[in-house]
Structure 1
Amino acid sequence: MNITVIASTYNAEEWLEKVLLGYRNQSWREFELIVADDGSRDTTRALVERFAADYPVPLRHVWHADDGYRRQEILNAAILEARHDYILFTDGDCIPRRDFVQVHAEQAEPGRFLSGGYCKLSMKLSKAITADDIRDGRCFDRGWLRAQDRLGLSNTLKLGAGSAGGRLLDSITTTKPTFNNCNSSAWKADLLAINGYDERMKYGGPDRELGERLENHGIRGKQIRHRAVCVHLDHARGYKTRESVERNLAIRAQTRAQRITWTPYGIEKSTPHSPAG
């Protein structure tokens, strides 16, 4: 199975480099990686080009000019650029464990999207992780992480579950499977059928809204949060505003109440309709 991995980024080269190292270390090699760049400076492009020159899988940079927070627009552009039928979304601050892409590939099935999560690290831990720690898998070892800083129960469970334990925990968790940009995947045809991301939405839930439209379209979520493991590097969120969160909540409420599938503010700009009929 061939997969397109889309990793979003914005002016975060230090974190993106660690993420690129993580995808260079994957056990599953039948994928391409697209860096979906929401207007970063030239140093991000230079970083991607340096890695692309000697990368084990195709690595591409999709960019648009910096005009404020427009992540949904660059993600929609990356969806169109995807060369494979299945797309895995992540962020440029989430380092994937060695089996990350493999878990998504093995768990993918028609009529479903996959819902993963992340292990949120402190800034101290985020800074401490080196290229060797990523290559050798130490940054996913509970003992090593705890030796650097506090880890937390949720992170401990995800990092220590293993294949069988992760499957069990995913089957009994009360956490609803939602679409999360840091760690979720879906069929490209299903994403196109709902017209991708709603570009009206800024920070605060546009990925969840996309998942809700997938569900309205008949695509059910499948929980893999304890099996598809990535660690989330800490950062500030200066782009988060009360206004954007409130507007997004209103859009999501309308999506659920009216069982909307197609957004006219997505990949195609058109009047509302439902391709599913």
Structure 2
Amino acid sequence: MKISVIVSTYNAEKWLEKVLIGYSVQTYKDFELIIADDGSRASTKELIDRYAENYPVPLRHLWHEDKGYRRQEILNIAIVEAANEYIIMTDGDCIPRKDFVAVHAKFAEKGRFLSGGYCKLPMSTSTVITKEDIESQRCFDVNWLKKQDKLGFSQTMKLSAGPVLATVLDNITTTTPSFNNCNSSGFKEDMIAINGYDERMKYGGPDREFGERLENFGVKGKQIRHKAVCLHLDHARGYKTPESLAANLAIRKEVKEKKIKWTPYGIVKEPGLPPVS
């Protein structure tokens, strides 16, 4: 199966470079990598162009002008532009383990989206990880990580679980499979069918809302949080505001109560609607 991996980013070259290295050593090679860029500075383009010259899979950079937080808009463009039938959604601060794409390919299933997890790292560990650590995969080793800084129990379980234990843990977890920004995937046709992301939404739950509309459409979540592993690098969240969180919760409440599948503020804009602020 051919896959498109969509990575969102904004002015975070140090983290994005680690992510690019992670996707350059994947065991599964039949994918393209799309960087969905919410208006980053020129140095981000320079980084991507430098890697694209000798990258093992097709690497594309989609960019729009910086007019504030518009992540959902560039993600909708990326969904439409994706060349392949299956899409993995992740972020420019998430380093994938070498089997990351392979796991998503293995468990992809019609009528489902995949809900992966992530291992959140402290800033000290995030900063110290090098190109060699990623290429050798030692940055996914529990003992190596614990030598750098603390590592929580949940992170330890995700990183140390082999295929059998990971399957058991995914089957018994009480965590509901949700569409999240770090590690989720589904079929492009399903994402198009719900009209992509709701572009009214700012930081704080737009991916969850996306998944909730997929559920309403009949595409149910499937848990792979202990199978598909990525390292979430630490960073500040200056775009997180009480106003955006409240507005997003209101949209999600309406989606849940009315079983909404299609957003009029998505890939296709319904005529006559007020513009997104």
Query: TM-score, normalising length from structure 2?
Result: 0.97
Partner residue, 2:265: 265
TM-fit CA distance, 1:42: 0.4
Partner residue, 2:170: 170
Partner residue, 1:252: 252
Partner residue, 2:182: 182
Secondary structure in 2 matching 1:88: strand
Instruction: Give runs of aligned pairs for residues 38-77 of structure 1, distance below 5 A.
Output: 38-77=38-77
Partner residue, 1:191: 191
Partner residue, 1:31: 31
TM-fit CA distance, 1:164: 1.1
Distance 1:67 1:53 in 2: 29
TM-fit CA distance, 1:160: 0.4
TM-fit CA distance, 1:271: 6.5
Which string of whole-angstrom CA distances, capped at 9 and with x for unpartnered residues, describes residues 227-268 of structure 1? 000000000000000000000000000000000000000000
TM-fit CA distance, 1:181: 1.3
Distance 1:270 1:117 in 2: 34
TM-fit CA distance, 1:25: 0.6
Unaligned stretches of 5+ in structure 2?
273-277
Distance 1:181 1:190 in 2: 17
Instruction: Give runs of aligned pairs for residues 96-115 of structure 1, distance below 5 A.
Output: 96-115=96-115
Q: Give the fraction of aligned pairs with identical amino acids, expressed as a percent.
A: 67
The answer to whether 1:144 aligns with 2:149 is: no
Residue 247 of structure 1 aligns to which amino acid in structure 2? A
Residue 175 of structure 2 aligns to which amino acid in structure 1? T
Q: Which moved more, 1:15-24 or 1:157-166?
A: 157-166
Instruction: Tell me the number of residue pairs that the alignment of Structure 1 and Structure 2 aligns.
Output: 272
TM-fit CA distance, 1:101: 0.2
Residue 51 of structure 2 aligns to which amino acid in structure 1? F
Distance 2:112 2:270 in 1: 26
CA RMSD in angstroms, aligned pairs only: 0.9
Residue 226 of structure 1 aligns to which amino acid in structure 2? H
Task: Write out the 4+ residue segments of structure 1 that deviate beyond 3 Å after TM superposition.
Answer: none
Distance 2:106 2:135 in 1: 23
Secondary structure in 2 matching 1:7: strand
Partner residue, 1:154: 154
Partner residue, 1:123: 123
Distance 2:262 2:193 in 1: 7
Secondary structure in 1 matching 2:39: coil
Secondary structure in 2 matching 1:84: coil
Unaligned stretches of 5+ in structure 1?
273-277
The answer to whether 1:19 aligns with 2:10 is: no
Query: TM-score, normalising length from structure 1?
Result: 0.97
Distance 2:255 2:229 in 1: 29
Residue 193 of structure 2 aligns to which amino acid in structure 1? A
Distance 1:271 1:94 in 2: 37
Secondary structure in 2 matching 1:151: coil
The answer to whether 1:214 aligns with 2:214 is: yes
Partner residue, 1:95: 95
Distance 1:162 1:258 in 2: 41
Secondary structure in 2 matching 1:265: coil
Distance 1:51 1:162 in 2: 32
Residue 251 of structure 2 aligns to which amino acid in structure 1? I
TM-fit CA distance, 1:182: 0.7
Distance 2:165 2:133 in 1: 24
Cα 1:271–1:253 change in 2 (3 A) is: farther
